[in-house]
Amino acid sequence: MTFAVILAGGKGTRMGNSEMPKQFLLLGDKPIMIHTIEQFLLNQQIDKIIVCSPKEWIPYTNDILKKYLFNNDKVSVTQGGSTRNETILNGCMHIREKFGASSEHIIITHDAVRPFITQRIINENIEALKKYEVCDTVIGAIDTIIVSKDGEKIDEIPDRNFMFQGQTPQSFGLEAFIDNYNSLTDKEKEILTDACKIFIMKGKEVGCVKGDESNIKITNLYDLKIANAIVERNILND
């Protein structure tokens, strides 16, 4: 089975003074997260969608899913973790509990706050897992990347041709993630904030899927303003 795991575990600490986690803020007339989930709902290759929310926001999440989604049957909600990778782990354990363990299960993890995900990117993630055990969605670096260990002076400017920016989805086998994550030490779990980095550290090959510049992550009020500016509302008048 193919699962989408929507990472909605953030609590809105970067979105100005808003107490509402950013994934619940409105893009047009629907919460950002709903737009994101809809893209996976419409994809026939996705069997189930697991939404990982902060514990205190689970009832809220269930309410908005019921209010806005045209079809709730494929979607279930579980608790997020204290870190991103822990959230993914919780999503994986939820899948195991409901659908059993299987080396055939693959998961497409995606930020709830990236509503501009395209069908091509979803389909290419699924396709890439036929060739690679893990894949990441990336775009070529738009700006020059510099390395600075202290934030004050530049230590290195790598060749931009080899620099990419990581987006989501990040996709992998369910059992592969659980096994590799559980084999990390507590210290490693602390420093490894990116799921794909876990696999790199374990010597696994991670494929690249071409993302898109439009697949933006809405992390602050400016991003939200831009997102609202670029989305037109369709008035059905034919």
Partner 1 sequence: MINQVYRLISPKQIRIDFVDEQYDEGYVIVRPHYLSICAADQRYYTGNRPKEVLNKKLPMALIHEAVGEVVFDPKNEFSVGDKVVLIPNTPIEESIRKENYLRSSKFRASGFDGFMQTYVSMRRDRIIKFTNIDMKVATLLELISVSMNAVKTFDEKSLEEKNTFGVWGSGNLGFIVSLILKKKFPDSKVIVFGVRQEKLSYFSFVDEVYTVDNIPDDLTIDHAFECVGGSRSEDAVNQIIDHINPQGTIALMGVSESNVNINTRMILEKGILLIGNSRSSYQDFKDSVDFLQEHSDVVEYLNNIISDIKVVKNVNDVHQAFEADLVNEFKTIMKWEV
Helix (H, G, I), strand (E, B) or coil at 70: coil
Which CB, 45 or 76, lies closer to partner 1?
45
| In the complex, minimum distance from the CB of residue 119 to partner 1, in angstroms, rounded to a whole number | 6
Query: From the CB of 64, what's the least distance to partner 1, in Å?
Result: 15
Minimum distance of partner 1 from residue 89's CB (angstroms) = 29
Between 38 and 136, name the residue whose CB sits nearer to partner 1.
38
Residues 90 and 78: their CA atoms lie apart, in Å, by 7
Could you give the CA distance from residue 139 to residue 32 in angstroms, rounded to a whole number? 22
Distance of CA 130 to the CA centre of its chain: 20
Query: Minimum CB separation from partner 1 for residue 172, in Å?
Result: 23
Q: Which residue, 157 or 230, has its beta carbon nearer to partner 1? A: 230
Given a contact cutoff of 8 angstroms between Cβ atoms, the answer to whether 54 and 20 are in contact is no
Residues at the site binding partner 1, with contacts judged by CB under 8 A: 27-30, 35, 38-39, 42, 44, 70-71, 115-116, 118-120, 123, 214, 230-236, 238
Q: Which is nearer to partner 1, 118 or 193 (CB)?
A: 118
Among 221, 121, 232, residue whose Cα is nearest residue 167 = 121
68/99 with CB nearer partner 1: 68
Which candidate, 71, 52, 49, 69, places its Cα nearest to that of 1?
A: 49
Query: What backbone phi and psi angles, to 5 degrees, belong to 111?
Result: -65, 135
Provide the residue count of the chain.
Answer: 238
Angle, helices 32-41/58-68, rounded to nearest 10 degrees = 60
Q: Minimum CB separation from partner 1 for residue 195, in Å?
A: 25
